[in-house]
Structure 1
Amino acid sequence: MSDLLSRIKAVSREVGFEVIGVTSVEPMLRDLAALSGWCSSGYAADMSYMTRQPELNASPGRLVHWARSIITLGVNYYTAAPEFRHENRYGRVARYAWGLDYHDVVKAKLGELSDRIRSLMDDAGFQARGFVDAVPLLERAAAERAGLGFFGKNTNLLRPSQGSWFFLAELFVNIDLPATGEPRQVSCGTCSRCMPACPTNAFAGPYLLDSRLCISYLTIENKGPIPRELREAIGEWLFGCDVCQEVCPFNRFAEDTNWRHLRAEHGKGQRIDLIELLGISTDARFREWCKGTPLTRPKRRGLLRNAAVAAANIGCEAAVPVLSMLIVDDPEPLIRGHALWALARLELKRASKFADAALRNDNDSFVREEAEAILSGCFARQESKK
């Protein structure tokens, strides 16, 4: 079987997977305990898919009942940030979302890898099923057990020679392969740069992330309002956040990806024009604008919510007209409310007039709460402290 594994590793690299390991389908009991504790502490926020059946996430054999082994794979997505002439109208996008949607790109390669392994096996009974971050599976735990890396204090999986800029994927197969995991010999040591660097103080401790405070959660998975007390700390981030990875010393070893469809030129890139985004008035136009990229995840209502917050944080006065229009005309209360908050950060007098009108004409409770906050004078008090 070791000869077969060597050939599988070779064809995996030919397909494009830089990192390959193998683990069993046995339950991940240590990680189940960690997940259960994390969920019971409330750190999963409203991500019900994490809390619904924790034991299923840690039981690969239940996910694919006929599987005997899991081939775990890593895909480097790092691209160096191009030089950017800063203008006061752009929001930042997390590096993983610069190009096309990794789910689609990597899943296609998993299909190719499955076919290549089938040809190696020359066995009509060979079965394989691939996954990319879309099923109840503790992917990082499986990858760690296969020897792909170690858990960092920022909760990312780190490779000493590469850092953390890589996606994970799995190919479940019905053949017994030798496991590749080795005892962990590398750790973060005394380094904890990621924890104080977090703009929203989302780390409850080393290796412990409170999603409720995490910018990536707040701007992507969060379906509701961004808590008012966290909005300013989000800064210019429009979609996701990379701060805890950017400060990690292991990431100084990162090299540009060979997966061209994950590069910025194939997607929306690292910076998004907030004025353009805020001007997208329908769901259909939004889907067309971000088609094939990860930016579809929060939908129009979520991404325009984020855009309003980012525009206010960077002082984008050019956004005042479009924010004013959204407050009056947009059908989504989530967008109206955040646009009202953003306008108050940019032009308090104008926002006060819109807030007064909202209390008279807008029946949504969230929008009314934002209007009341403006008229209560809290924004004026904030300005006086600056």
Structure 2
Amino acid sequence: MALLAVLPALVWLFVGCLFPHWLPALPLSTVQVVSGAIGVFLLLTLFFRQWRWTHWAPWLAGNAGAFYLAEQSDTVNALPIWWVLSSLWLSFAPVPSLRTWSGKGLFILLLGLPLGLLWPPLGAGIAALNPSHWLMTATLRDDYPQLAYGLFVLAIAGTWATFLMYQVSAAYRWAQWAAWLVMMALLLTGSAPDALSWTVIVAATGLIVALADQLLRLAYIDELTGLPQRRALMSQLQHLKRRSAVCMLDVDHFKKFNDKYGHDVGDQVLRLLGRILAEQKGLKAYRYGGEEFTLVFAHNEQARLKTQLEEVRKAVASYPLSIRDASRPKRGNEGKQQRGQSKVQNKHVKVTISLGATVRAKNDTAEAILKRADENLYSAKKAGRNRVVLR
């Protein structure tokens, strides 16, 4: 999905920068197109209560308005500096919710400050930071006016993208990068008709695609374990292949474990189990609910299933879960200072799971196969837990 969020920007960079004459004329005015594109994005963020996304609407609106009204070179040269600073801050700094007063103030600031660059003293002051003034000599600036700017954009874009790839960032982070990049490229296509309109359309499209990805994740991905949740499982079970199998599993004595060590440690167990299941080959893991998980296999070979399920059981049972000692300081620096002074800092416990699996029968419904797997899970628990029942 991250690629889809960036794809409109990549197409725009290719067409808008290299072949601006290819851009089709738009039937609406620039003001109408910009207002419509940003308005759709803003309404979607407000409707779905995705508050951290909302600030990108005034960012786009303010920057587009400043570019549209700019007539002085100082203002045009000041815009890229503001675009870099503001977009990086929105992307990586904690942003207050629009529901707070500070969030509302930030909304107004992002909308109004770019327009303030139209004031000559402010525009000239920011324009002095333009990279062409300190990356190239006066002679080179005259001969190659766009070279320094292009190098500056490539440096920022490359560093930003490298960080996102290193962090394995979500589509939202990439959409922010793409929105900034197309705005920076706008100065290279400023003379093309409808360039501003197409730039805002591309930026808003990338953000909307990333927003759709976020909403899908909220609906289908469990936040605690990172696994698909029950809604995704039920959809998958409606399309099971003829040769397939389903397994229900849960953590043994999870309630007692929660009562003894606390819900934070219980969540730690579920995250651990989610990570172990996600790393297993040849199966698709889902969080069914609570401490229950479901595994779906694309084959029904019982000997192979037994081996795979035993591997899952052993992987969990052999993992030493480390529980922080209650007396250990929560602050990292204090913990380092006391390291080695106490013989017991962490307690290691073992977690086990029980598994009940079944192969798909002819004309099986999703409810029928889950019920049969759940009955086998109950049999595994009744037989002593920490075991697999497959039939």
Q: Which has the higher helix share?
A: 2
Determine if the TM-score, normalized by the shorter chain, exceeds 0.5: no
Structure number with larger C-alpha Rg? 2
Q: TM-score, normalised by structure 1?
A: 0.30
